[in-house]
Amino acid sequence: MTINGLENNYYLTQNDIWVKINGFTEVVSKVVLEFKNISTGQILKEFECSASPNNDCFFNVSFPIRALMPEPDHVVVNSLQNFEIKVTAKFKNPATLDETITLTKYFIRGGRNKSGVNEWYLNDGDYLVDNYFITGGLNWNISNSVLRISGGNLLPDGNYPKLATQENTKKCDGILVKYLNSLGSYQHFYFDRYEIKNKTKASKTVNRISTRLRNDNFQNIGYDETRTLTLFSYTEKKLQPNFEDMIRSIHILFFDENGNDSASEWHLIKLDDNSSVFNNYENVYENKAEFTLPNYRTITV
């Protein structure tokens, strides 16, 4: 039995990675696959792959791998996980013993688009950075080093060559955002202007019997509250890929200077909409991103 398509390592989970299983000694009835996240101990079993008339089968390994990935953690980055993939061939001839191959591979929470020489895997020694790594601006800076793959681990490395600072076009304080990039690490982006909108909408009321005119004849049940954060940035051309990577992120947080630990300093937000317009007079992109802020209250009686 031969497994084709997993000859490399450090595969990106957001790409659909199809493997071809063939080279059986006899006619195969079905192939059973089992996936184990060695890092967490979680297992998914009994994935069956039916054989084609050519006595082979194809399977998208990214599907179970995604389900076994832990939730993103921006403090202790857990994007790199070690997996064991067990493939068992069962034959139509009941006298033929099962054939089993077990592979161990690393997978990284991330993905790439088709472009140039891009592959859906990385290599040992690669940096987990998309485009430039922004280290600060006029009134902010970050100290954490770039993460790099080293022998199955993610280690900080200060030698990444493409570093940049982000210019502030406004003199007022803006909003700093941290996001999970397309290669499984975290980068930062600064928005120099923002708007916060709060909106409440009343639920239905309940009528009450009033025995005097001066008494109320209804009761409020509660309110639905919506808070939105709109961020604006004038971005130079070389840093526009950073913005485009951010708006495709599944994990975006903004910085709260009033916090005193990682939980209170960084707030998770949900991207609702975005737009980019190139301004050829100033040679910058005018970027806009709209987010929904989470509600932590249930406003009801």
- pLDDT tens for residues 131-169? 999 998 877 888 767 999 999 999 999 899 999 998 766
pLDDT in tens, 263-296: 899 999 999 999 999 998 888 999 999 999 988 7
Q: Give the span between the Cα atoms of 91 and 99, in whole angstroms.
A: 9
**For residues 166 and 220, is the Cβ–Cβ distance under 8 A?**
no
Q: How confident is the model at residue 144, as a pLDDT? A: 63
**For residues 4 and 69, is the Cβ–Cβ distance under 8 A?**
no
Band of pLDDT at residue 93, cut at 50, 70 and 90: very high
Q: How confident is the model at residue 171, as a pLDDT? A: 61
Question: What's the Cα-to-Cα distance from 71 to each of 62, 89, 250, 269, 278, rounded to whole Å?
Answer: 16, 32, 11, 15, 35
In this model, does residue 201 exceed pLDDT 90? no
**For residues 22 and 55, is the Cβ–Cβ distance under 8 A?**
yes
Band of pLDDT at residue 86, cut at 50, 70 and 90: very high
137 burial (CB, 10 Å; 0-12 / 13-18 / 19+) is middle
pTM: 0.89
**Domain-by-domain residue ranges, the chain?**
2-108, 133-300
CATH of 2-108, one of 1.20.1070.10, 3.30.2130.10, 2.60.40.10, 3.40.30.10: 2.60.40.10
pLDDT in tens, 242-255: 999 999 999 999 99
CB atoms within 10 A of CB 111: 16
Q: What is the mean pLDDT of residues 47-74?
A: 94
